[in-house]
Amino acid sequence: MKKSKIRIDNLENSLITFDFDGTLTTADYRSSWQAVHEYFGTWATHGKKALQQYLDGEINYTEFCIADAYPWINQSESEYQKALDTIKLREGINELLSFFRKNDCTLVIISQGLGDLVDKFAKKYKFDYWVANELIRKKDRITGEVVINVDAHEKGRILRSLLKTFDIPKQKSIAIGDASADIDMFKSAQISIAIEPSSDKVAASADYICRSKNLIEIITFFDL
């Protein structure tokens, strides 16, 4: 932890913004897209190559998502849902969310992951708002089409927009993430927390670092 504890009176009525993949899911699943690739056996043949092309600047983010979904074309809805079921959530979710709710916080998710998984989770845990990318299916088959709701480097802009929507000042905002895509979100929040950060750069960008696999540790960052 880099700073003194967060004052509890700064928490009431705050906007708490979570990444999803690798933050609310375990660090073994930093990408729900990769998890689906691994289920279908297409990570080594397609997904890994598409990721490298994106990182090398050969394709843009939209092209990357389309390339990611391409090998899944015509896979059934039931198999896709089984693939999503392989993704595991972190321990301590109930305790952390209850802690924030007791302080009348607004809970949101901004994710570049698969919207079907985020939607199921957000409804179960009664989040106030969530947004993620959408994999299109028709007649219970994956089409290969993708709706990009959260583009690369968009998380900060979305967070700032949500502060206006919920009429919450920046001083009452906390961002929680794990990867490089969350750095822009960290910059747009008053307080940032990296959980099991994926790189030294991510760790250096956050105010607080949670090294535990269990989300309960985040509660200890607050001056209770």
pLDDT tens per residue across span 121-148: 999 999 999 999 999 999 999 999 999 9
Tens-place pLDDT, residues 185-199: 999 999 999 999 999
Are 102 and 67 contacting, i.e. CB atoms less than 8 angstroms apart?
A: no
Output the pLDDT for position 29. 83
User: Based on the domain organization, do 99 and 165 belong to the same domain?
Assistant: yes
User: Based on the domain organization, do 113 and 186 belong to the same domain?
Assistant: yes
What is the domain extent for residue 158?
6-27+90-133+146-223
Report whether pLDDT(224) > 90.
no
Output the pLDDT for position 4. 78
Output the pLDDT for position 79. 97
Task: Compute the distance between CA of residue 102 and CA of residue 105 in angstroms, rounded to an integer.
Answer: 8
User: Based on the domain organization, do 155 and 111 belong to the same domain?
Assistant: yes
User: Based on the domain organization, do 161 and 97 belong to the same domain?
Assistant: yes
Tens-place pLDDT, residues 102-124: 999 999 999 999 999 999 999 99
Token pair listed for 117 = 């998984």
Output the pLDDT for position 9. 72
The verdict on residue 176 lying in a domain is: yes
Q: β-strand 141-147 against 129-138: which pairing, if any?
A: antiparallel
Which ranges of the chain does DSSP label H, i.e. alpha helix?
32-40, 48-55, 61-69, 77-84, 93-102, 115-124, 155-165, 183-188, 200-205
Output the pLDDT for position 205. 97
The verdict on residue 138 lying in a domain is: no
User: Based on the domain organization, do 101 and 159 belong to the same domain?
Assistant: yes
Output the pLDDT for position 1. 43
Mean pLDDT, rounded, for 164-175: 96
The fraction of the chain above a pLDDT of 70, given in percent, is: 98
User: Based on the domain organization, do 55 and 155 belong to the same domain?
Assistant: no
User: Based on the domain organization, do 21 and 112 belong to the same domain?
Assistant: yes
The fraction of the chain above a pLDDT of 90, given in percent, is: 91
The DSSP element (H or E) to which 133 belongs, if any, is strand 129-138
User: Based on the domain organization, do 75 and 151 belong to the same domain?
Assistant: no
Tens-place pLDDT, residues 2-48: 567 887 677 899 999 999 999 999 988 889 999 999 999 999 999 99
Report the number of distinct structural domains present in the chain: 2
What is the chain's mean pLDDT, rounded?
95
Task: Compute the distance between CA of residue 83 and CA of residue 26 in angstroms, rounded to an integer.
Answer: 15
Return the CATH number at 153.
3.40.50.1000
Cα atoms in the Cβ-side hemisphere of radius 13 Å centred on 135? 31
Instruction: Among 84, 100, 116, give the residue marking a domain's end.
Output: 84
**Stated pTM of the model:** 0.94
Task: Compute the distance between CA of residue 221 and CA of residue 193 in angstroms, rounded to an integer.
Answer: 9
User: Based on the domain organization, do 111 and 19 belong to the same domain?
Assistant: yes
User: Based on the domain organization, do 38 and 102 belong to the same domain?
Assistant: no
The verdict on residue 140 lying in a domain is: no
The verdict on residue 141 lying in a domain is: no
User: Based on the domain organization, do 16 and 74 belong to the same domain?
Assistant: no
